[in-house]
Amino acid sequence: MAGDRRNTRLAALGVVALLLFGGIGIRVWFLQVIDASTLRQRVEFSARRTITILPRRGRIFDIKGRILADNSRVLSVTVDRSVMPPVCSDAAPKSRERRYTKFWNLLSGPLNVPPDDLEARFCSNRYVPQEPVPLKDGVTEDQALYLLERREQYPGIDVVETWRRRYPYAPIASHVIGYMGSIPADNKSTKKVNETDVYKDKGYLLSERVGVAGVERTYEDVLHGTAGKRVYEVDANGRVLRTVEEVPAANGQDIQLSIDMSIQQYAEQTLETELRFRKTVNAVQSKSELEKYGRKKYVATAGSVVVQNYLTGAVVAMASYPTFDNRWLDGTLPPGKFSQLFPANVPPDQAALTNRAIQGGYNVGSSFKPFTAYSALQAGLLPGGANFKYLDVGTYKIIACQRDKSRELSQKCNFRNAWSPSLGRPTPYGLISVTEALTVSSDTFFYQIGDAFLELTGGQPIFQNELRQFGFGQKTGIDLPFERSGILPDKQVMAALRKKKVILPDETFTSGQSILLAVGQGILAVSPMQLVNAYSAFANGGSRMQPSVLAAIFAPGTPDSAITGYVDLTQAQVVFTRDPKVIQTLDMRPELRDPIVQGLQNVVRKVAINGHMSTGGRVFQKFPMNLLPLAGKTGTAQGGGNRSENDSSVFVAFSTDPNVPYTVGAYLERAGYGAQASAPVVKCMFYALGGFAKMDPVRQADPLDLTATIAAPLRQMPSQACLDNYSVIVSRADRG
C-alpha cells in the first residue's frame, strides 16, 4: 500500500512538472514568436536614450552692427521620464511615493533647490512625457560634474547645454527687440489656435523659451534654427556606454535691424526728458477752468517717437514711454518681483510693456489736417484748388442747421476756432487759402470740408476712401507684433462699434462726426506709426511705404568685430536683404501736393497770415532751416472732459532735403499743445539727424539692479538746449 501511495504521488508530481514546463514552453514560444517585436522595442527603448540638441538662437544687430541680442551658454539639469516615470497623482502607491521623496531629497542638496520645488516642476503639465524634464537651469560646472560622476545615485539625471538670451544694450529699444518667454499653454476657452501644438509641430521642446514680443516674436522662425539629436546607448543604471547617432543642430540665422541705436537712445532720452519737464508745467487753462478746477499741471506720463526713412520705409528709431528693461523678462525673476515691476491693473498710460508707437490709438488733432486738405483737393471740393479762399470768421454752422434752424434744439450746430484771450472770442483768421489754413491751423476751414464731404456727396464715404489711401483705419504692416489698425469712422464702422457697445446705441456718422474727423478728433483712432507713415507719403512724392525694422538676414555665425559689442558686417553672409515696398501710390500732382507741403513749410517758419503767426514758427526759430529745411504740422488732441490739462501734444515733420530723408513724429499724452511738448522733441531729433546735436555714446548696460522698483532706470538728454523749454513761451495761438 505504501508503494502505491508513493507511485501516486510521483505521478502527480510528474503531471505538475509537465504542466509547469509546458506553460513555460508556451510562454517562451509566445515571447519569441508572437510578442518578439514588442519586446525588442522595449529592450531598445530601455537601452537607448535620445537627447535633443537645441540650436543656438540667431543674434540681432542694429544697422551699425551693434549686438542687440546675444546668447550665453547655460547648463541645465534634466531628468528622463523613461527612467523615472512620474508619480504625481494622489492615488500613487505609497511605496513609490516614498522612493521618489527620497530621490528629491537626495537631489535637493547638489542643486540647492527645495525638494517640493523639484517635485512640482517634475509633475508640471508643461512638459510632455517624451521630453526630459528640466529641473534647474544655470547650474555651475561643479554641480554638473558632481551629478554626472554619480549617475548610479541619480538615475535618469543628465546635464545638457542650452542658451540664455542676453540683451547687452538694455533697456534701449526693448519695445522693438522684445523678449523671450515660455511657450504659451493651450487655453481653448480664449484662443482659436493651440499654440502648444503649433510649436510641437515645428519640433520645439515645450521647455524651450520663444520670442513673445518685438522682433524676437516676429522673426522666431528665422532666429530659432532647427534642433538636432544625440542618441546614447545606456546600461540599466542609465550610464552612457556609447553614442549611437548624432545629428547636429542647425543654428538660427542672424538678423540686422534698420534701427540705429545712437538715434534710438537719443529718441528715448529726449522723450523721457520732455515728459518729465511737462509734469512741472501749468496747463494753459481758461478762466472758467481755473475757477472750477483750480490750477492744474500736465500729467505727461506717456508718449512715443518714431523716426522713419521716407524713401525706404525703414524705421530708424521707435521710442515708447513708459519703457522697461527686457532683461527682467528672462524667466529668472524671484517670486513677487514681476508684479512689483509690472503691476496689474495699472492705468493705460502707466503700462510699460505697451508699445505706444504701434499699439496706441489716438485722436491726432490738427496734425490730421493735411490729409483732409488732400482729400478736398482730390475730390474737387475746393473750387480753384490752391487759389480757393474761405472767409474764416472764427465760427462755423453746419449745413444741415443752416437749412433747418430747428435742428439747433436737438444737436450741436456751431463749431469754433481756438479761443483768443485778447479778442475775447474765437480767433478769426480772415480770408485764407488751404496753404494759409494749414499755416495757422484754422479749424473752421476744415470744418466746412468735413461737412461738405457728407452733405454734398449724398453721404457716400468719399472722404474716408481718400483717407484710406494714406493707411488710416488699417495696419501699416510693420514687422512687429500686436499692431493695431486704428479706427477710421464711417457709417459701417459706427454700426460695428454700436454692436460691440463701444459707443452709444444712437450714435451714427453724422455731419458732426464728419466735421470732427476733418480736424483729427471724434471717433478717429490713429497710431503714431500710421501718422508718420502717412506723412512720409507727402515727403517722398506719393508712395505709401510698408514700414519695417528689418534690414537684412545673415547666415548663422556672423563673426564678432575687434570692437567690443559689434559684429564684423564685412564678414556677414547675406541671406536676405529687405527692399523698399510700396503699398500704394497716391496721386501727388503738383496742384495737389504743393499747396499742402508749402503750408507745412510755413508752419515751422515765422510766417504771418492776416496778423496771425504760424503755429510752430516760434519753436523752430533757432533751427538751421537753411542747412536742413523742414515741413511739419502741430496737433492738439482734446482730452477727457475737454479740460486743458488733458490735452495731448502731436507733431510730425519731414526733411525736404533728400539727403536727410526722414520723417519724425512725436505724441506726448496729456502734455499740452502740439507746439508746446511734441514739437520741441521732433526739433531735437532733427538736430541729431542733421548732425547738429551731440549725442551720448551708446554703452553696454550695467548689471541689473535687483533692488530696483521700476521697470527701467530714469534717463536724461546729454543737453536740453535744443528743447528751448525755458526760453520759448508758447501761447494758445500755438495750439495747432
pLDDT in tens, 667-725: 999 999 999 999 999 999 999 999 999 999 999 999 999 899 999 999 999 999 999 86
How much is the mean pLDDT over the chain?
88
* 3-class state of residue 554 by DSSP: strand
Residues 7-43 pLDDT 10s: 666 666 666 566 666 666 666 555 565 555 554 554 4
Q: Is the pLDDT of residue 491 over 50?
A: yes
* Burial of residue 11, with CB atoms counted within 10 A of its CB: 0-12 exposed, 13-18 middle, 19 or more buried: exposed
Please, which residues bridge with residue 613 across strands? 608
| Residues of each domain in the chain carrying CATH 3.90.1310.10 | 59-225
pLDDT at 206: 82
pLDDT band of 152, cuts 50, 70, 90? confident
C-alpha grid cell, residue 418: 481756438
pLDDT above 70 covers a percentage of the chain that reads: 87
Q: Give me the CATH code for the 59-225 domain, please.
A: 3.90.1310.10
Segment 43-64 shows an average pLDDT of 81
pLDDT above 90 covers a percentage of the chain that reads: 61
Lowest mean pLDDT among 22-26, 159-163, 199-203: 22-26
Residues 86-103 pLDDT 10s: 666 655 555 455 556 788
| Residues of each domain in the chain carrying CATH 3.40.710.10 | 261-546+581-734
Residues 202-253 pLDDT 10s: 888 888 899 999 999 999 999 999 999 888 787 766 667 788 888 999 999 9
Buried b or exposed e, range 292-305, using 16+ CB within 10 angstroms: eeeeeebbbbbbbb
pLDDT at 108: 87
pLDDT at 555: 98
pLDDT band of 60, cuts 50, 70, 90? very high
Strand-strand pairing, 425-426 and 419-420: antiparallel
Segment 722-733 shows an average pLDDT of 59
Q: Is the pLDDT of residue 80 over 90?
A: no
CATH 2.60.40.10 fits 261-546+581-734, yes or no: no
* 3-class state of residue 178 by DSSP: coil
pLDDT at 52: 81
* Burial of residue 350, with CB atoms counted within 10 A of its CB: 0-12 exposed, 13-18 middle, 19 or more buried: exposed
Lowest mean pLDDT among 186-195, 213-222, 330-339, 486-495: 186-195
* Burial of residue 132, with CB atoms counted within 10 A of its CB: 0-12 exposed, 13-18 middle, 19 or more buried: buried
pLDDT band of 728, cuts 50, 70, 90? very low
